[in-house]
Amino acid sequence: MNPSYPHHPFGERIDKAALQTRLEAAQGWEAKNRLLVQLGRELPDWPATLRDDAHLVSGCESRVWLHGEYVDGQLRLYADSDSRIVKGLLALVLTAYCGQTAEMVARFDAEAWLQTLGLQRFVSASRGNGLRAIIRHIREYR
Protein backbone atom coordinates (compact mmCIF):
# COMPACT_ATOMS: atom_id res chain seq x y z
CA MET A 1 0.00 0.00 0.00
CA ASN A 2 1.21 3.49 -0.81
CA PRO A 3 2.06 5.76 2.10
CA SER A 4 -0.46 8.59 2.33
CA TYR A 5 0.14 12.31 2.15
CA PRO A 6 0.08 13.76 5.68
CA HIS A 7 -3.00 15.74 6.61
CA HIS A 8 -2.43 19.47 7.15
CA PRO A 9 -4.60 22.32 8.44
CA PHE A 10 -4.06 24.79 5.60
CA GLY A 11 -7.16 25.68 3.62
CA GLU A 12 -9.31 23.96 6.24
CA ARG A 13 -8.80 24.98 9.85
CA ILE A 14 -6.48 27.80 8.77
CA ASP A 15 -8.05 29.96 6.08
CA LYS A 16 -6.89 32.99 4.14
CA ALA A 17 -8.41 35.45 6.61
CA ALA A 18 -6.65 33.84 9.56
CA LEU A 19 -3.32 33.95 7.75
CA GLN A 20 -3.84 37.53 6.71
CA THR A 21 -4.35 38.54 10.34
CA ARG A 22 -1.15 36.79 11.41
CA LEU A 23 0.90 38.25 8.56
CA GLU A 24 -0.37 41.76 9.16
CA ALA A 25 0.59 41.46 12.82
CA ALA A 26 4.15 40.61 11.75
CA GLN A 27 5.61 44.03 11.11
CA GLY A 28 8.79 44.19 9.06
CA TRP A 29 10.64 41.68 7.00
CA GLU A 30 12.35 39.94 9.88
CA ALA A 31 9.09 39.31 11.71
CA LYS A 32 7.47 37.99 8.52
CA ASN A 33 10.42 35.66 8.13
CA ARG A 34 9.88 34.35 11.65
CA LEU A 35 6.21 33.78 10.91
CA LEU A 36 7.02 31.87 7.71
CA VAL A 37 9.34 29.58 9.65
CA GLN A 38 6.55 29.04 12.21
CA LEU A 39 3.98 28.27 9.49
CA GLY A 40 6.48 25.88 7.96
CA ARG A 41 6.58 23.99 11.24
CA GLU A 42 2.78 23.61 11.15
CA LEU A 43 3.06 21.86 7.79
CA PRO A 44 3.95 18.20 8.49
CA ASP A 45 6.95 16.62 6.75
CA TRP A 46 6.25 13.98 4.13
CA PRO A 47 7.51 10.45 4.65
CA ALA A 48 10.87 9.95 2.91
CA THR A 49 9.34 7.53 0.41
CA LEU A 50 7.14 10.28 -1.04
CA ARG A 51 9.98 12.77 -1.36
CA ASP A 52 10.84 11.36 -4.76
CA ASP A 53 11.54 12.69 -8.24
CA ALA A 54 7.95 12.09 -9.32
CA HIS A 55 6.78 14.72 -6.83
CA LEU A 56 9.69 17.12 -7.28
CA VAL A 57 9.00 20.57 -8.75
CA SER A 58 12.00 21.70 -10.74
CA GLY A 59 13.01 25.35 -10.91
CA CYS A 60 13.24 26.00 -7.17
CA GLU A 61 16.37 26.92 -5.19
CA SER A 62 15.39 24.38 -2.56
CA ARG A 63 13.64 21.07 -3.15
CA VAL A 64 9.85 21.20 -3.30
CA TRP A 65 7.55 18.18 -3.51
CA LEU A 66 3.94 18.58 -4.56
CA HIS A 67 0.86 16.42 -5.00
CA GLY A 68 -2.63 17.46 -6.03
CA GLU A 69 -5.84 15.73 -7.05
CA TYR A 70 -9.50 16.71 -7.43
CA VAL A 71 -11.98 14.89 -5.19
CA ASP A 72 -15.63 15.74 -5.82
CA GLY A 73 -14.52 18.77 -7.81
CA GLN A 74 -12.35 20.20 -5.03
CA LEU A 75 -8.57 20.35 -5.09
CA ARG A 76 -6.74 18.32 -2.46
CA LEU A 77 -3.20 19.65 -2.30
CA TYR A 78 -0.14 18.49 -0.38
CA ALA A 79 3.34 19.98 -0.33
CA ASP A 80 6.71 19.65 1.35
CA SER A 81 10.17 21.20 1.09
CA ASP A 82 13.59 20.78 2.66
CA SER A 83 13.60 24.54 3.34
CA ARG A 84 11.67 25.82 6.34
CA ILE A 85 10.99 29.20 4.80
CA VAL A 86 9.76 27.63 1.57
CA LYS A 87 7.53 25.38 3.68
CA GLY A 88 6.06 28.53 5.20
CA LEU A 89 5.45 29.84 1.73
CA LEU A 90 3.90 26.51 0.72
CA ALA A 91 1.56 26.77 3.71
CA LEU A 92 0.28 30.03 2.23
CA VAL A 93 -0.09 28.46 -1.21
CA LEU A 94 -1.98 25.49 0.25
CA THR A 95 -4.29 27.84 2.14
CA ALA A 96 -5.11 29.65 -1.08
CA TYR A 97 -5.76 26.58 -3.24
CA CYS A 98 -6.95 23.71 -1.03
CA GLY A 99 -10.65 22.94 -1.42
CA GLN A 100 -11.00 25.20 -4.47
CA THR A 101 -12.63 24.24 -7.75
CA ALA A 102 -10.59 23.98 -10.94
CA GLU A 103 -12.16 27.18 -12.15
CA MET A 104 -11.07 29.05 -9.00
CA VAL A 105 -7.56 27.59 -9.23
CA ALA A 106 -7.24 28.85 -12.80
CA ARG A 107 -8.51 32.29 -11.86
CA PHE A 108 -6.73 32.95 -8.54
CA ASP A 109 -3.79 35.38 -8.77
CA ALA A 110 -1.44 34.01 -6.11
CA GLU A 111 1.31 36.50 -6.86
CA ALA A 112 -1.00 39.47 -6.32
CA TRP A 113 -2.27 37.91 -3.10
CA LEU A 114 1.27 37.42 -1.77
CA GLN A 115 2.02 41.03 -2.65
CA THR A 116 -0.92 42.21 -0.56
CA LEU A 117 0.45 40.11 2.32
CA GLY A 118 3.74 42.02 2.10
CA LEU A 119 5.65 39.07 0.64
CA GLN A 120 6.56 40.71 -2.67
CA ARG A 121 10.15 39.62 -2.11
CA PHE A 122 9.10 36.08 -2.98
CA VAL A 123 7.43 37.20 -6.16
CA SER A 124 10.45 39.19 -7.38
CA ALA A 125 12.43 37.95 -10.34
CA SER A 126 15.02 35.52 -8.98
CA ARG A 127 13.09 34.11 -6.04
CA GLY A 128 9.79 34.30 -7.87
CA ASN A 129 10.86 31.60 -10.28
CA GLY A 130 10.37 28.84 -7.73
CA LEU A 131 6.96 30.14 -6.70
CA ARG A 132 5.89 30.49 -10.32
CA ALA A 133 6.93 26.91 -11.04
CA ILE A 134 4.83 25.72 -8.07
CA ILE A 135 1.76 27.64 -9.21
CA ARG A 136 2.17 26.46 -12.81
CA HIS A 137 2.30 22.92 -11.45
CA ILE A 138 -0.85 23.38 -9.38
CA ARG A 139 -2.74 24.68 -12.39
CA GLU A 140 -1.89 21.55 -14.35
CA TYR A 141 -3.74 19.17 -12.00
CA ARG A 142 -6.92 17.79 -13.57
Partner 1 sequence: MSPQCPNSDLFSQLRSEFPIFGTHPELVYLDSAATAQKPRCVLDAERRFYEEHNANVHRGSYALAIAATDAFENARSSIAGLLGVASDELIFTRGCTEGINLVAHSWGDSLAAGDEILVSTLEHHANIVPWQLLAQRRGVVIRPIPLNAAGQIDLPAYQALLGPRTRLVAITQAANATGTLPPLAEMIAAAHAAGALVLVDGAQGVVHRADGPAALAADFYAFSGHKVYGPTGIGVLYARRELLANLPPWQGGGEMIERVSFAGSSFAPAPQRFEAGTPPIAQAIGLATAMRWLAALDAADLHAHETGLQHRLETGLLDLPGVQVLAAATPRAPITALHFAGAHAYDVAHCLDARQIAVRVGQHCAHPLLAHFGVSSSLRVSLAAYNTTDDIDRFLVALGEALELLA
Residues labelled catalytic = 60
Under rule CB under 8 A, residue 140 binds partner 1: no
Q: Give residues with Cβ within 8 angstroms of 124, minimum separation 6.
A: none
Under rule CB under 8 A, residue 52 binds partner 1: no
Longest dimension (CA), the chain: 46
Q: Closer to partner 1 by CB, 56 or 104: give it.
A: 56
Which listed range, 15-23, 30-38, 91-99, 108-116, lies at the site for partner 1 (CB under 8 A)?
A: 30-38
Q: Closer to partner 1 by CB, 83 or 115: give it.
A: 83
Under rule CB under 8 A, residue 129 binds partner 1: no
The DSSP output letter for 100 is -
Under rule CB under 8 A, residue 133 binds partner 1: no
Member of 61, 109, 112, 120 binding partner 1 (CB under 8 A): 61
Under rule CB under 8 A, residue 33 binds partner 1: yes
Q: How many residues in the chain?
A: 142
Which listed range, 11-19, 46-54, 77-85, 134-142, lies at the site for partner 1 (CB under 8 A)?
A: 77-85
